[in-house]
Homo-oligomer: A and B are copies of this chain.
Amino acid sequence: MAARQSRVVHSGRACAPYGSNAVRRTYRTLEESRRLLEVAAGRSPADRYLDGATLLNVYSGELYPANVAIACGRIAYVGPSHAMVGPETDVLSLPGAVLAPGYIDPHTHITGMVNPVEFAREAVRGGTTAVVADTLQFLLQTPTDRIPDVLRTLSEMPVHVYWFLRLDAASPLADETRFSIDRLAPLLEIETVRAVGEVTRWPALYRGDDDLMRKIALALAAGRRIEGHAPGASYDRLVALAAVGWSADHEAITSDEVLHRLRAGVYTMLRHSSLRADLPVLARAITAERAASARLMLTADGPEAVTIAECGYMDHTIRQAIASGIPPVLAYQMATLTPATYFGLDEELGGIGAGRRADIAVLDDLRNPTPTLVLAGGQIAARDRAAVCTFPAIEWPLFFPPRFRPTWQPDAALFETRAADLAAAPDDPAGVRFPVMHLENSVITRRRDVTVPVRRGRLVWPDDVVRLALVDPAGRWVTNGALSHFTTRLGGLASSFNVAADLTVLGQDPEDMARAARRLLELGGGIVAVEGGATVLELPLPIGGVMSPESLPAVAARARDLYAFLRARGYAHTDPHYTLLFLPLDSLPDLRVTYHGVWDVRRGQTLVPRRDL
């Protein structure tokens, strides 16, 4: 062991990964430390010097004039000295500006149509320089031996992506080994995997689910955090989850629920997302005493592209926090230092302090969190709301092997619910009872039993119901369900954009549905609408069927078209993005379409089984 240590120490990069599962607080190398010291001591010139601005010091909670010297991508010095300004130093004169640390989103999902690189490019424009993101789609789709590579590559962008490792699928899978403990354990050793979760099946954990308990124990032993997801959990149940290791939760939707989490010793993320804009309510829980333990954070929880394009990202969240009455300095601390501390990254991120990465948002005014200039790793990453830094070119097919391919031809029969499968007579005008998914809001469904007439062996759906099929991308099985209160009329809509990475097809015309599905397979994934035999909307998502190669604004424009299309067909909820994404999600009530069939989430029962083809 001593020999191994020595090799690391005496090699050129003294801070090359020390051990396989270290939880580092900083990644600065020995060479970087040497350079930073020389600059800080005024013995060597800085690369860049931010002169004359006001510092938001999140450590001391103060605003005061201070300059910042940068070397090798990190902050070398903060204070009044100009000793490190040399002839080669790039001095930015910033009188009147406020320097805030780059923003951190402690909980996000970046497979929401926009790929992680384009997500990061957009994030940095608004001052966000680090996020902790979901690994769901990688675990679903990426070959095991390529996961470390893609996670590490994305962690090294100008916007640093850290990860929470999912412990289970978001929907029942044909291949359950994708989330087996043996597959997950080595991934826990990746340094930028800082947490596991989010643990959506909290009722199962509360009941003592053995698999979840074992995975969580393993994560705790590796020093990783446990990201919770306990919507609706009572205080007593939150305490029980904390006993098992729950270390944070972002699902409070009332101020009492904020307080319950905080009191239970759980780090509490206040969410303000495209799906739930809750900050005005949540902020009521915040008092100086309650904030003093620095265990409150802000999160946007994976907003969809249009919201980001129109409102911003964490800058928008901070703005909403301030507008909701949270003191401005605290609002910034909740989006900078506290998440860094929570994830054990406080010596790397979260504050404008010597040694930290030079991730800095330059503001006109503390009350306007949208920066005019952004530095990431000491480089100018965005100026006047335009990203100007370089992002990696990722060979996405390496990590998301083509999943949606025209190797088979979905036909209209695929979308017929067959009386025989329901043990119903081939002709029954009185009808059979069917558990329809009734969409209560964008994401919550309720079981609505509808009596559906049967003719020639097939169910004859009423006008207020659309067929909803979940189809294996390779055509080996289908689950035929039905959805109400989605649209009032819809020919066919096929979508690979969902948490199961399967094919969802909705509509009232089986021929249009089949055409949409076929076109989707030709596209390699995305969202396709067909009406009267003609394709009327295409939103290509060729990366795993869930992500676009395009920029966020381009994706947002396409998403707007999709939303407009659905609204024109009678969609009346707030967030079509999440409606589509969550159709197979097994952690929200009540009914879902899954690999098992039409699935009753609360009872854990299949109501209508899938059909193997």
The answer to whether A490 has its CB under 8 Å from any CB of chain B is: no
**What's the least CB distance linking A326 to chain B, in Å?**
12
Cα A6 to Cα B182 with chains together (Å): 6
| Contact A23:B26 (CB < 8 A) given known A217-B14, A344-B344 | no
**What's the least CB distance linking A230 to chain B, in Å?**
13
**Residue of B22, B240, B294 touching A354 (CB-CB under 8 A):** B240
Q: Is A33 a contact partner of B243 (Cβ separation < 8 A)?
A: yes
Q: Is B59 a contact partner of A265 (Cβ separation < 8 A)?
A: yes
The answer to whether A462 has its CB under 8 Å from any CB of chain B is: no
Q: Is A79 a contact partner of B290 (Cβ separation < 8 A)?
A: no
Cα A553 to Cα B503 with chains together (Å): 75
Q: Is A15 a contact partner of B356 (Cβ separation < 8 A)?
A: no
Cα A182 to Cα B8 with chains together (Å): 11
Q: Is B60 a contact partner of A262 (Cβ separation < 8 A)?
A: yes
Cα A333 to Cα B185 with chains together (Å): 35
Cα A292 to Cα B336 with chains together (Å): 13
Cα A244 to Cα B15 with chains together (Å): 13
Q: Is A293 a contact partner of B333 (Cβ separation < 8 A)?
A: yes
The answer to whether A249 has its CB under 8 Å from any CB of chain B is: no
Nearest CB in chain B to that of A58: its residue: B293
**A244 / chain B contacts, CB cutoff of 8 Å:** 33, 36-37, 355
- Which of A74, A188, A221 gathers the greatest number of chain B CB atoms within 10 Å? A221
**Residue of B218, B330, B354 touching A292 (CB-CB under 8 A):** B330
| Contact A216:B33 (CB < 8 A) given known A265-B351, A289-B60 | yes
- Contact digits for A1-36, partner B, Cβ 8 Å, 1 yes 0 no: 110011011000011111111111110111001101
The answer to whether A165 has its CB under 8 Å from any CB of chain B is: no
Q: Is B1 a contact partner of A223 (Cβ separation < 8 A)?
A: no
Cα A23 to Cα B59 with chains together (Å): 23
The answer to whether A245 has its CB under 8 Å from any CB of chain B is: yes
| Contact A30:B293 (CB < 8 A) given known A221-B8, A221-B15, A354-B242 | no
- Which of A59, A62, A333 gathers the greatest number of chain B CB atoms within 10 Å? A59
Q: Is B9 a contact partner of A79 (Cβ separation < 8 A)?
A: no
The answer to whether A170 has its CB under 8 Å from any CB of chain B is: no
* Chain A, interface residues (CB within 8 Å), range: 35 or more
Cα A25 to Cα B293 with chains together (Å): 17
The answer to whether A236 has its CB under 8 Å from any CB of chain B is: yes
Nearest CB in chain B to that of A191: its residue: B223
Q: Is A19 a contact partner of B20 (Cβ separation < 8 A)?
A: yes
Q: Is A292 a contact partner of B291 (Cβ separation < 8 A)?
A: yes
The answer to whether A213 has its CB under 8 Å from any CB of chain B is: yes
Cα A223 to Cα B213 with chains together (Å): 26
Q: Is A5 a contact partner of B218 (Cβ separation < 8 A)?
A: yes
The answer to whether A546 has its CB under 8 Å from any CB of chain B is: no
**What's the least CB distance linking A40 to chain B, in Å?**
4
The answer to whether A353 has its CB under 8 Å from any CB of chain B is: yes
**What's the least CB distance linking A260 to chain B, in Å?**
10
Cα A15 to Cα B6 with chains together (Å): 28
**A213 / chain B contacts, CB cutoff of 8 Å:** 30, 33-34, 37
**A601 / chain B contacts, CB cutoff of 8 Å:** none
Cα A236 to Cα B78 with chains together (Å): 8
**Residue of B14, B186, B262, B295 touching A214 (CB-CB under 8 A):** B14
- Which of A16, A78, A265 gathers the greatest number of chain B CB atoms within 10 Å? A265
Can you spell out 24 A-B residue pairs with CB atoms less than 8 angstroms apart?
A5-B186, A5-B188, A9-B181, A15-B218, A17-B221, A18-B222, A19-B189, A21-B21, A21-B22, A30-B213, A36-B243, A59-B265, A60-B293, A61-B290, A79-B239, A242-B354, A245-B347, A265-B354, A288-B292, A292-B330, A293-B294, A293-B333, A294-B295, A294-B341
What 15 new A-B contacts, CB under 8 Å, besides A18-B222, A61-B290?
A2-B182, A5-B185, A14-B214, A15-B220, A15-B221, A18-B223, A22-B223, A23-B223, A33-B217, A36-B243, A59-B295, A243-B354, A289-B329, A291-B292, A293-B337
